[in-house]
A and B are shown apart, each in its own frame.
Chain A
């Protein structure tokens, strides 16, 4: 009985397949009676072409979908992420001033990117800076540029990179919090974006850039998502700014504790989530590399929370919430250049080291030198970025990302000691450009419009003195 059922089923299938093809064949023959075989081949070729187009379209849809989400995630890191993180760390009277500094970057750098800085960073130029071909987004259309990302529209690449250009100067605002004029800040960070960010982005990621590892730069520097371009430049410029500007009135005698660690906590959590767009998005596609970077990001952040917290617990007797979230940011900074090059276990090591290292930088080193990097932009981003860039040269693994060719050693642990030197060179270059460039810009802005608010304005706070409003109004 069972066998009969199977036989009937098989016969049915047989008729379905062959009957169908005979039917198709007869219609094809009816249309093109000349040479059935060549026609069939032509039809198959056409089908293959159509399939290739459909596959490419599907890949673009997948990659582009992830990249647009990533771009939005990175913007969320600036506002509200960074704005809340920094806003909670200042005193009540400066919260709106602090948040506005980051928000202003979201507007100003966007427009600047369209007019000039995208071109300076990513159009073809020399080894140090891009040209002016893409000014006003000329030639930046919906077709991909295979030199950057073959499967996403160039405009997606442009808008994704824009979000990096926004958050980088916004990070510096932590160093001069509570004491810089809003007008001076706008001019300073606009010039900073042109003179420091654009060349640095071009050297590491741009066509023909000196440090570009994928496009055969002379000193191939591994920087997956911006350890040198974003964190070293902003962190070192932060230190220079804190030193140039001097301390806040009363620092360090007058207590200036964070007015709301709660706000900072929310901001830090948003930074953590947004960082997946920052790091995994830097794969510029939605494939396996994005997964590597995503996983490394999570492990790096978590390990650094533990590193910072344990160090603090031992030294101060209590694990603080501010310490835990600062550790997360430090770990995310350090894993930024390494994500997409290292294994999950290496990411844990990088995070642990970064957590302890940045804790010591913020707690010990800052008080030794006595500078007022108000919100520790240098201690976390400058120090964490430098450390992360160097550790990338040690832990980078060809099994994760065969950037120099399959099976070729990538990092020091694989035997490529030269990579560590290249990383050090890249970091050194970023330090040099940041120090020299920032000093020049600060000098110019200070002599023309003046950097600091008046003593009176600093005492009443940036909210009232710069913006004519208050963050917290108890009377209504």
Chain B
């Protein structure tokens, strides 16, 4: 089992979600997030005062998939979320030891 954490542009959420459902990913968790990588922020003006905003709105998407689904899922995300400009986000992959379904104590891949 592998955990995929993807930080993407908020406007790409729907496209990514649809792409993941299409390849058979069973579930995911979405968080509204703020952050930045190499991308610089922007400035905002309120009554003449300048505020530089360097933490930009992002969406963080977490899902755990079976090992064989990993590459497909990565491709789905990168294809759907890519605009080719700076600020498109990142994907992090890590190994998951176990998973438990709270409803009925199913474990491992059965719990996904």
Could you tell me if B51 and A363 are in contact, using CB atoms closer than 8 angstroms? Answer: no
> Do B48 and A258 touch (CB < 8 A)?
no
* Residues on the B chain within 8 Å of A318, using CB: 45
Report if B92 contacts A (CB, 8 A): no
Interface residues of B in 38-52 (CB under 8 A from A): 44-49, 51-52
Q: Using a CB-CB cutoff of 8 Å, which residues 88-102 of chain A contact chain B?
A: none
Residues of B within 8 A of A312 (CB): 48
Inter-subunit contact A322/B46 (CB<8 Å)? yes
Q: A interface, how many residues as a size bin?
A: 10 to 19
A320 within 8 A of B: yes
B47/A316 in contact, CB under 8 A: no
- A294-316 contacts to B (CB < 8 Å): 312, 315-316
For B46, give its contact among A252, A257, A315, A367 (CB under 8 Å).
Answer: A257
Cβ proximity bits B45-82 to A, threshold 8 Å, 1 near / 0 not: 11111011000000000000000000000000000000
Is A323 interfacial (CB-CB < 8 Å)? yes
| A315 proximity list for chain B (CB < 8 A) | 48
Which of B44, B45, B48, B49 is most buried by chain A, counting CB atoms within 10 A of its CB? B48
- Identify the closest chain B residue to A320 (Cβ): B45
Within the assembled complex, what's the spacing in Å between the Cα atoms of A257 and B43?
12
Cβ of A458 < 8 Å from any Cβ of B? no
Nearest CB on B from A53, distance (A): 56
A254-266 CB mask vs B (1 if < 8 Å, else 0) is 0101100100000
A326 contacts chain B at the CB level, 8 A cutoff: yes
Query: CB distance B47 to A255 under 8 Å?
Result: no
> Do the beta carbons of B51 and A257 come within 8 Å of each other?
yes
Q: How far is the CA of A368 from the CA of B99 in the complex (A)?
A: 60
Q: Are A362 and B46 in contact (CB under 8 A)?
A: no
Complex Cα distance, B45 from A359, in Å, reads 13
Give per-residue flags for B88-105: 1 if the beta carbon is below 8 A from chain A beta carbons, else 0. Answer: 000000000000000000
State the Cβ distance, B110 to closest chain A Cβ, in Å: 31
Contact B46 A363 (CB under 8 A): no
> When the two chains form the complex, which single residue of A255, A257, A261, A363 contacts B48, counting CB atoms closer than 8 Å?
A363
Question: How many A-B contacts are there with CB distance less than 8 Å?
Answer: 28
Tell whether, in the assembled complex, residue A364 and residue B51 are in contact, meaning their CB atoms are under 8 Å apart. no
Q: How far is the CB of A467 from chain B (nearest CB, A)?
A: 26
- B-side interface size class: under 10
Q: With a CB–CB cut-off of 8 A, which chain A residues contact B49? A: 252, 257
Q: Is there an interface contact between A323 and B51, defined as CB atoms closer than 8 Å? A: no
Residues from chain B with Cβ under 8 Å of A255 in the complex = 51-52
State how many angstroms separate the Cβ of A382 from the closest Cβ of chain B. Answer: 15
Q: CB of A178 within 8 A of chain B?
A: no
Indicate whether A376 reaches chain B with its CB closer than 8 angstroms.
Answer: yes
State whether A364 touches B48 (Cβ < 8 A).
yes
Contacts of B45 in A (CB 8 A): 316, 318, 320
Q: Which residues of A contact B48 (CB under 8 A)?
A: 312, 315-316, 359, 362-364, 367
Within A356-371, the residues touching B (CB, 8 Å) are 359, 362-364, 367
Q: Which residues of chain A have C-beta atoms less than 8 A from B44's C-beta? A: 257
Distance of A320 Cα from B45 Cα, bound (Å): 8
How distant is the Cα of A66 from the Cα of B49 in the complex, in angstroms? 42
Nearest CB in chain B to that of A326: its residue: B47
Bound Cα distance from A359 to B46, whole angstroms: 12
What's the Cα separation between A367 and B46 when bound, in Å?
13
Which residues does chain B contribute within 8 Å of A316, judged by CB atoms?
45, 48
Encode B16-52 as 1/0 by CB contact (under 8 A) with A.
Answer: 0000000000000000000000000000111111011
What 1/0 mask marks residues of chain A from 385 to 406 whose CB sits below 8 Å from any chain B CB? 0000000000000000000000
Inter-subunit contact A322/B47 (CB<8 Å): yes
Tell which of B46, B47, B48, B51 has the most Cβ of chain A within 10 Å.
B47
In the complex, what residues of A have CB within 8 A of residue B52's CB? 255
Residues from chain B with Cβ under 8 Å of A252 in the complex: 49
B29 to chain A minimum Cβ distance, whole angstroms, is 16
Give the one of A255, A258, A316, A326 with max B CB within 10 A: A255
Q: B108: shortest Cβ distance to chain A, in Å? A: 31
Query: Chain B nearest CB: distance from A34 CB in Å?
Result: 82
How distant is A331 from chain B, measured CB to nearest CB, in Å? 16
CA distance A318 to B42 in the complex (A): 14
B interface residue numbers (CB < 8 A to A): 44-49, 51-52
- 27 A-B residue pairings within 8 Å (CB atoms): A252-B49, A255-B51, A255-B52, A257-B44, A257-B46, A257-B49, A257-B51, A258-B46, A261-B46, A312-B48, A315-B48, A316-B45, A316-B48, A318-B45, A320-B45, A320-B46, A322-B46, A322-B47, A323-B47, A326-B47, A359-B48, A362-B47, A362-B48, A363-B48, A364-B48, A367-B48, A376-B47
Known pairs A255-B51, A257-B51, A320-B46 / 12 extra A-B pairs, C-beta < 8 Å: A257-B44, A258-B46, A315-B48, A316-B45, A318-B45, A320-B45, A322-B47, A323-B47, A362-B47, A362-B48, A363-B47, A376-B47
